[in-house]
Structure 1
C-alpha cells in the first residue's frame, strides 16, 4: 500500500513503517528517543516494535502509563512530563506513541506542550487508532468524564500503521474500531458503507484495504479543513450523543463502561433517526443504517433516568457555540449536514427509537 500524505505528515503502512521510521531517525538524529506505551502495549507490542527499531547510539527510554480511557487525564500527563524532565529530554528529543487512541491522543498532547513542543510519531496499535486517531493531529485528554476537553491540533512527524498489531486485540476492541469505519461510509462514501456492511463476502485479507480506505477518507476531510471550521465537522457524526453516552457510562459506578465505538454506534443510530425526522434521510435508508449497525453492535439498556442526565452532558460538546448544541446529521448515506440544531424532545424520541430497535 502506498503511503498517504497528510497536510503536514505522511501515513505509512506495514513494512514501510519501519523503513521510514528508521530513515527519519538517521536523518533527524534526535537527542533521545522516548517510547510511550500502556500496560497492554508494553507486553504485547513493544518487544516486536523494538526488534525493528534502529536507534543506533541514541538512548531509548520507555515510559509506561496505565491502560484505559479513565487514565486519559492531566494527572497522567503530569507523570509523563515529569518523566521526560527527569530523563533530560530536550527540544530535539523524539516521542514515539505506541498504543491505541488513549496513548496517541495523550502522547501527542504531551509532546505538543513539553518545552512548547517536541517531535512525536504515532504508531497506532488498535483498529480505532489506525482509522481515526492516526490522521488529523487531534491530541488531548479528558476533563473528568468529559471527552477530549483539553488539547491541541498538532500533527506528528509521521504515522506508522502496522496492521500486524491487530493480532494483539480482543474482539471487542476490533468491533469498537469498526464503528469509526462505518461512520466514514455514512458521511462520505455509500459504496464503502455497503462493503463494510456485507463483510460476509470478504475475508480477513481484505481488512488492510478497508483500513487504508478509511484513512484515505479521513485524510481528504482533514486536509480540506485542518482546524474544523466546516467540512471536518462531518467526522463528528454519531459523536454528539455518542460522546455524552460514553461519558455518562464512564462516570457512573453502577454502569459498565462502554468502549468508544460501542457508544458511537448508539449515537449514529439515534442521530440517523433524528436525520430522518429533520433532514432528507428517508425511512428506507434509516432502516439500512439500523440493520447495518446492529449486525455488529449489541443493544445497550439506557433507562429514562439515564436519558435526562445524558442530555445534560450535551452542553459540554465541543461543537457547541453560543450555548447551542450543534449536530451532524445525514440527508442521505454519504451526504452529511453540519450545524443542525435539535430539540431535547426529539432527542428523547431518538432514545425511544433506539430502545425499540
Structure 2
C-alpha cells in the first residue's frame, strides 16, 4: 500500500489519500470550533468500517453515530426525514459537523441531509467502496431517489474534505469491486486512452498498483468537474454508459421478476450499448467497438434482456435528468479517450444496440 499519493485539490476542497486524510481531519477538528460530531453510516459500514475509523479520531467532541439500513432502496426522502429528526433530538446545530462514512448511498444521502439541515452544516465524506471512491467522492452531487427515479432530488454542494483510504476496500465483496471498476473503465474511455488500456488484461493488474489506478480515476473525474461543475457541457461526458445504464438499473430495481443489478453492472451494459451507437454513428471503428465489448463482457456477467423488457427501459429514458426539451441526449465516445455530448439517438438504433449486445 503506497501512502505517498499526493492530495488532489478539487474545487474548494482537498481529496486526501490514506494516512494523510486522518491527519488532515484531526487538524481540521482542532482548528474549527464545532459543537458536536455526527457520523452517518449504514448498517454495513457501522459494522465493518466504523471500528476501523473511530480510533483515528482525536477529539473531545461528543460523537453520535446515526445508522440507517443499507441499500439503494433506502436512499429516499423518508430516510432523510428520520435522520433530520434524530439530528434535531440530539441537539445538532449550525456548528455541528457531519461525517459520512460509507458507499455512494451514504455519501449521496448524508451530503444531502447535511446540505439541507438548518440550511447547511459542514460535512466530510469518507467513501468506503470502490464505486464511491472513484465516483461519488468527487463533484459535489448529493441527493436521493424519488420512487425508482435515481437522484431526482438533490443539490450541488461540496464537502469540506474527502478522505480516500483504500484499506476499507478489504471489506468490500468482489461484485461491489467490479461495480466500482465500471466507473474506472468509463473514465478511461471518455478521457484517457492510456488509462483504458491498463484494464485490457485484468489478470496482469497487480493489486499493489491498484491505488495508483484509483488515484488516476479520481484525478480524471476531478479535472472534468473542475472545468464544468454544474454539467453545462464537458461534465456531461461522465454520463457515458449512464443514459441507458440508469434506465436498465431502474427497470431491474422496480421489476419483481428481475434480479436487482449493482450500479456498475448496469453501467457496464450501458457502455457496450452506447459504444454500439457510437459505432453506428461512425465515431469509433469496429476494432475499437470489439475491444470495448470483449473487455467489458470478460469482467461482467451477461444480462438477459427479453423482448418485453426493452419498451419499459425506453420509457424510463424519458425521465432521465440529462434530457432537455423532451429529446434524449447521449454522451458518446468519439474514438477512445474523447467524447461528443448532446447526441440525439433514435429508438431504432437503441433497439439495434440491444440486439447486438445479445449476440
| Pairwise same-fold verdict (TM > 0.5) | yes
Task: Provide the rounded CA distance (Å) in 1 between the counterparts of 2:278 and 2:150.
Answer: 24
Q: 1:122 aligns with which of 125, 131, 142?
A: 125
Partner deviation per Cα, 1:305-336 (whole Å, 9 max, x = no partner): 11100000001111111111110101111111
Where does residue 39 of structure 2 map in the other structure? 35
Aligned pairs for 1:320-331 (under 5 A) are 320-331=323-334
| 1:300 pairs with 2:303 | yes
1:85-124 matched pairs, under 5 angstroms: 85-124=88-127
- Report the secondary structure of 1:92's partner residue: coil
1:204 deviates by 1.0
- Residue 311 of structure 2: SS of its match in structure 1? helix
Residues 1:54 and 2:58 are matched in the alignment:
yes
**Is the aligned partner of 1:195 residue 2:226?**
no
Unaligned runs of 5+ in 2: none
Task: Please say if 1:13 is aligned against 2:10.
Answer: no
Matched position secondary structure for 1:102? helix
1:201 CA displacement: 2.4
- Structure 1: gaps of 5 or more residues: none
Contact 2:199 2:205 in 1 (8 A): no
Choose from 315, 321, 335 the match for 2:338. Answer: 335
Residues 279 and 330 in structure 1, CA contact (< 8 A), matched pair in contact too: no
Q: CA deviation digits over 1:82-106, x for unaligned, max 9?
A: 1111111001100000000000000
Q: What's the TM-score, normalizing by structure 1?
A: 0.98
Cα displacement (A) at 1:351: 0.7
Name the CA distance, whole Å, in 2 between partners of 1:154 and 1:197: 35
* CA distance in 2: counterparts of 1:199 and 1:306, whole angstroms: 31
The answer on whether the counterparts of 1:242 and 1:266 sit within 8 Å (CA) in structure 2 is yes
User: 1:181-237 CA distances to partner (integer Å, 9 max, x unpaired)?
Assistant: 000000000000000222322311011000000000000000000111110000000
User: Is 2:267 the counterpart of 1:264?
Assistant: yes
Measured on the aligned residues, the alpha-carbon RMSD in Å equals 0.7
Cα distance between partner residues in 2 of 1:286 and 1:17:
40
The answer on whether the counterparts of 1:38 and 1:99 sit within 8 Å (CA) in structure 2 is: yes
Find the counterpart in structure 2 of residue 348 from structure 1. 351
Aligned-pair CA distance for 1:280: 1.8
- Return the alpha-carbon distance in structure 2 between the equivalents of residues 92 and 302 of structure 1: 50
State which of 215, 218, 222 in structure 2 corresponds to 1:215.
218
Contact 1:246–1:263 (CA under 8 A) maintained in structure 2:
yes
Query: Which residue number in structure 1 is paired with residue 144 of structure 2?
Result: 141
Structure 1 segment 174-323 matched on structure 2, within 5 A: 174-323=177-326
- CA–CA distance in 2 between the matches of 1:106 and 1:29? 25
Cα contact 1:130–1:161 (8 A) shared by 2 = yes
Contact 1:36 1:103 in 2 (8 A): yes
Alignment partners' CA distance in 2, 1:196 and 1:234: 20
1:279 to 1:330, Cα distance in 2 relative to 1, 3 A? farther
8 Å Cα contact 1:243-1:264 kept in structure 2: yes
Partner Cα distance (1:246, 1:79) in 2: 26
